[in-house]
């Protein structure tokens, strides 16, 4: 398998990230594009195709050096048929046969999965959850994604759509969500909602990083915002802990960078509200592979499908 590589793609609501990996999931090269300029679905598909060609060319490789292409995508995917059902935060995608389109245009093996599933694969094999058998992973960003590892295996559900933790309703009634539901966890703790709340309270635009920094310096308003986020997240996780009795819950994505103010509050809510047997056992951990988890997971997806 000398001179063989994997191309990983992580498509988010904001960025399209592409990486060239060796077979031990080490990074050889990375490219990053904003998805904002690709308004139409076909333009975004062409951008994916071009980015694969570019990374092969820039590293003086040929297609025969590429084992396959793995994609992490922000929505429900039919893993078997390679169909994107829809993306909650990117309009214009409905029942798109993306695997077939990319295979035809790239002439390479292509594998797709939900981005949070791939983050879960990476964190359980190489990251914070290594060595644990039953794991719940969350990625907190524009949307809230989730993935489940049960008895050491990624659990995808009957129609490959399991793990949508961001779309667990945490109230009987609440804000309408892009998924079609209402009062979903994502409607309370998605990046855009947090930024909107912060802008209202601080009377100016404020970044997530600054909000974290202010909370660490014990700013009262920032502290209040993070407590509210932790309450919504903790409430959803209490139900998950009671239902699944996992060994650990791994939390990643931009919001996880808030650190102790988020994690300590979430741990406290779980300890006080979840059933005692499950609550005592579960560990709440910060994701270890940060932004690279989705790209590494896409590499694992390719390798495991071909072996």
| Cα atoms found within 13 Å of the Cα of residue 70, Cβ hemisphere only | 32
> Domain 5-118+292-306 falls in which CATH fold?
Nucleotidyltransferase; domain 5 (3.30.420)
Residue 1: pLDDT above 70? no
Residues 6+ apart with CB under 8 A from 230: 261, 262, 265, 266, 269
**Residue from 235, 226, 247 nearest 274 by CA:** 235
pLDDT for the residue numbered 291: 84
Nearest C-alpha neighbor of 35 from the set 50, 18, 13, 7: 13
Domain locations in the chain? 5-118+292-306, 130-288
Specify the DSSP class assigned to residue 10: E
What percent of the chain shows pLDDT beyond 90?
81
The highest-level CATH class for domain 130-288 is: alpha beta
**pTM score of the predicted model:** 0.91
142 and 14 Cβ atoms separated by less than 8 Å: yes
With the C-alpha atoms ordered 206, 209, 210, 212, is the resulting torsion angle positive or negative?
positive
| Topology agreement, domain 5-118+292-306 and domain 130-288 | yes
Question: Residue 105: which pLDDT band, with cuts at 50, 70 and 90?
Answer: very high
- Cα distance between residue 304 and residue 281, in whole Å: 30
By the 10 Å C-beta count (0-12 exposed, 13-18 middle, 19+ buried), 210 is classed as middle
Query: 74 with 87: CB under 8 angstroms?
Result: yes
Cβ of 107: how many Cβ atoms within 10 Å?
10
pLDDT at residue 74 above 90?
no
């Amino acid at each position: 398998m000398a001179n063989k590589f994997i191309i990983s793609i992580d498509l988010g609501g904001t960025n399209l990230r592409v990486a060239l990996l060796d077979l031990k999931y080490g990074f050889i090269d990375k490219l990053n594009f904003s998805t904002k300029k690709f308004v139409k679905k076909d333009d975004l598909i062409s951008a994916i195709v071009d980015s694969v060609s570019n990374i092969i060319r820039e590293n003086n490789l040929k297609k025969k050096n590429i084992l396959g292409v793995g994609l992490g995508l922000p929505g429900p995917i039919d893993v078997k048929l390679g169909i994107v059902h829809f993306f909650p935060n990117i309009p214009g995608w409905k029942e798109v046969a993306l695997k077939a389109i990319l295979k035809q245009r790239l002439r390479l093996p292509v594998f797709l999965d939900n981005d949070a599933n791939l983050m879960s694969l990476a964190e359980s094999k190489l990251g914070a959850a290594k060595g644990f058998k039953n794991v719940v992973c969350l990625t907190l960003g524009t949307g809230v994604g989730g993935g489940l590892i049960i008895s050491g295996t990624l659990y995808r559900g009957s129609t490959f759509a399991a793990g949508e933790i961001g779309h667990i309703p945490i109230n009987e009634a609440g804000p309408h969500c892009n998924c079609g539901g209402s009062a979903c966890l994502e409607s309370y703790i998605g990046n855009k909602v947090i930024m909107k709340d912060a802008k209202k309270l601080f009377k100016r635009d404020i970044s997530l990083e600054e909000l974290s920094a202010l909370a660490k310096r014990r700013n009262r308003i920032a502290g209040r915002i993070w407590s509210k986020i932790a309450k919504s997240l903790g409430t959803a996780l209490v139900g998950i802990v009671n239902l699944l009795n996992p060994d650990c819950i791994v939390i990643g994505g931009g919001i996880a960078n808030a650190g102790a103010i988020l994690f300590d509050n979430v741990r406290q809510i779980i300890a006080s509200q979840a059933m005692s047997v499950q609550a005592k056992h579960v560990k709440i951990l910060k994701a270890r592979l940060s932004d690279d988890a989705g790209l590494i997971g896409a590499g694992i997806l390719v390798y495991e499908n071909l072996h």
